[in-house]
Amino acid sequence: MKFNPIRILVLGFCCALLFLGSATPAWAAASSPTKGTEQLNQVQQETDKSAQDAPSSIEEVQAKTKEGLNAVQGSADRDKMKGPESTTPTDTMADSFKKGIERMMN
């Protein structure tokens, strides 16, 4: 059997690609595990406090809700959440159906 240097080069490249592809998730897992958990720790503390206290009155709940997204979470990660202002309007299924029927009729 004759050894072709191009085959050996391609084989080495494929092996290196497979090795790097399998090592990439390990590199991602090596990132800082504590980054981004500060807000979640605060949410956990608020949850624990509300579970131990007596039920809140409606006025207290409304006051906390005005501060952020809800009474427990506050405004944590508000910039990461999707809302009506950050999404594009889409057609409803009925609108899509009507458009399809109109295209078929024309």
Between 39 and 105, the higher pLDDT residue? 105
Residues with Cβ within 8 Å of residue 65, at least 6 apart in sequence: 71
pLDDT in tens, 8-63: 899 999 999 888 877 776 665 655 666 656 667 777 887 888 788 888 788 887 77
Paired tokens of 63: 């006051």
Residue 2 per-residue DSSP state = P
pLDDT in tens, 55-99: 878 888 777 777 766 666 666 666 777 766 666 667 778 888 899
What is the enclosing helix (H) or strand (E) of 20?
helix 5-29
